[in-house]
Copies of this chain bind each other. A is one copy, B any other.
Amino acid sequence: MKIGIFDSGIGGLTVFKEIEKRFPKNDYVYLGDTARLPYGIKSKKTIKNYSLKNTDFLVDRGCEIIIVACNSASSYSIPILKKRYKIPIFNVIESGVNAISNSCSKVGIIGTPSTIESESYLKLLKKNKKLKKIISESCPIFVPIIEQGLYKKKSVHFLIKDNLKKFQRDQVEALILGCTHYPLIKPIIKKILPNVTLIDSSVEVANSIGSFLSNTENIGPKVNFKREIFFTDKSKYFEEVLKVMFKNLNYKVKLVDIR
């Protein structure tokens, strides 16, 4: 199988790494739209437009499954992508919601402004689960804190804590990490909310793909399967972020122009 994954930038590599590790016997094409990131603060129309262009690129390269590894793109583009393409389209939002246990009564969601504003998690949670309370909070400072490695400074943790106050107060049982960057600060969030189950979209979307692939061919050691990593822009800043976030990514990044 050739699996295509796209994200607004680098964060989606958390999803790629998780899926690749579990299902190495596939070809993978990863596209990070670094020339136009971040999506998380942009409008529905713009995000939809970018998502279509990214998917076109992956489909043109022969991908048979698409994974939208960006929460903002998943929030606004899933219906239009599913309408346009016949191939399976997986995304972090549906997988994240499916991971919430049915016995859970109070759930929290954190994400970028566009993900939270879209209410994509909220709508799906309300439809699928019998929850008593759903609380959400947009955390626009988390992405720069993570990309710049500032979360390693203890003195910065209060900014993370500030954004999580609601969840502490309302004692949610589970918290959806609605941005592919957030798994990197999971240990800090866990310290602030020790009794809360953290839902990590990279793990959950890998679970969904696993159920779909389901044949044993896809499990086992890697033998000559292709991995291609494309970015729409390369800068020193992105190289630094790659180092901060993914120390051991051993693939060469290729540049591609998408408009």
Q: Which residues of A contact B (CB under 8 A)?
A: 34-36, 40-43, 45-46, 113-114, 117, 140-141, 143-145, 147-148, 150, 155-156, 158-159, 232-238, 240, 259
Structural contact, B35 and A46, CB atoms closer than 8 A = yes
Contacts of A238 in B (CB 8 A): 41
A34 to B43, CA, bound (A): 10
Structural contact, B42 and A233, CB atoms closer than 8 A = yes
Smallest beta-carbon distance A238→chain B, Å: 7
Structural contact, A113 and B158, CB atoms closer than 8 A = no
Knowing A141-B150, A148-B141, say if A158 contacts B155 (CB, 8 Å): yes
Q: Which residue of B lies closest to A145 (CB)?
A: B141
A159 to B141, CA, bound (A): 13
A42-B237, A156-B159 known, 12 other contacts, Cβ within 8 Å: A40-B237, A42-B235, A43-B233, A43-B234, A46-B233, A46-B235, A113-B237, A140-B147, A140-B148, A141-B144, A141-B150, A155-B158
Smallest beta-carbon distance A255→chain B, Å: 9
5 contacts between A and B (CB under 8 A): A35-B46, A113-B237, A117-B236, A140-B144, A140-B148
Contacts of A233 in B (CB 8 A): 42-43, 45-46
Contacts of A40 in B (CB 8 A): 237
Smallest beta-carbon distance A70→chain B, Å: 15
Structural contact, B144 and A235, CB atoms closer than 8 A = no
A117 to B236, CA, bound (A): 8
Most buried by B among A45, A144, A159: A144
Smallest beta-carbon distance A64→chain B, Å: 29
Structural contact, A235 and B156, CB atoms closer than 8 A = no
Smallest beta-carbon distance A105→chain B, Å: 29
Contacts of A114 in B (CB 8 A): 235, 237
Contacts of A117 in B (CB 8 A): 235-237
Structural contact, A235 and B43, CB atoms closer than 8 A = yes
A113 to B234, CA, bound (A): 13
A235 to B150, CA, bound (A): 27
A145 to B159, CA, bound (A): 11
A148 to B158, CA, bound (A): 16
Structural contact, B237 and A41, CB atoms closer than 8 A = yes
Contacts of A145 in B (CB 8 A): 141
Q: Which residue of B lies closest to A238 (CB)?
A: B41
